[in-house]
Amino acid sequence: MPTKIRLARHGRKKYAYYHIVIADSRAPRDGRYIERIGSYNPNTNPATIDLDFDKALDWVLKGAQPTDTVNAILSYKGVLYKKHLLGGVKKGAFDEAEAEKRFEAWLAEKEAKIQAKVDRLAADKASADQKQLEAETKINEERAATLAAKNAELAAEAEAAKAEEEEEQTQATAETEAAEAPAVEEAKAEEPASEEKPAEEAPVAEEKPVEEAPKEEEKTDSKE
Q: What local confidence, expressed as pLDDT, does residue 179 receive?
A: 75
Q: What local confidence, expressed as pLDDT, does residue 220 receive?
A: 45
CATH number for the 3-92 domain, one of 3.40.350.10, 3.30.1320.10, 3.90.1150.10, 3.40.30.10?
A: 3.30.1320.10
Q: What local confidence, expressed as pLDDT, does residue 187 receive?
A: 64
Q: What local confidence, expressed as pLDDT, does residue 224 receive?
A: 43
Amino acid at residue number 43: N
pLDDT truncated to tens, each residue of the chain (224 aa)?
589 999 999 988 889 999 999 998 888 777 788 999 999 999 988 899 999 999 999 999 999 999 999 999 999 999 999 999 999 999 989 899 999 999 999 999 998 998 898 899 889 989 999 899 899 999 999 999 999 999 998 898 888 888 888 888 888 888 787 777 666 666 666 665 555 555 555 555 555 555 555 554 454 444 44
**Distance separating alpha carbons of residues 188 and 47, to the nearest angstrom:** 106
**Distance separating alpha carbons of residues 210 and 213, to the nearest angstrom:** 9
**Strand, coil or helix: 24:** strand
User: 95 — alpha (psi -120 to 50), left (phi > 0) or beta?
Assistant: beta
pTM, 2 dp: 0.59
Q: What local confidence, expressed as pLDDT, does residue 201 receive?
A: 54
Q: What is the DSSP letter of 197?
A: P
Residues in the chain: 224
Contacts 24+ apart (CB under 8 A), 84-91: 86/61
Sign of CA dihedral 116, 118, 119, 124: positive
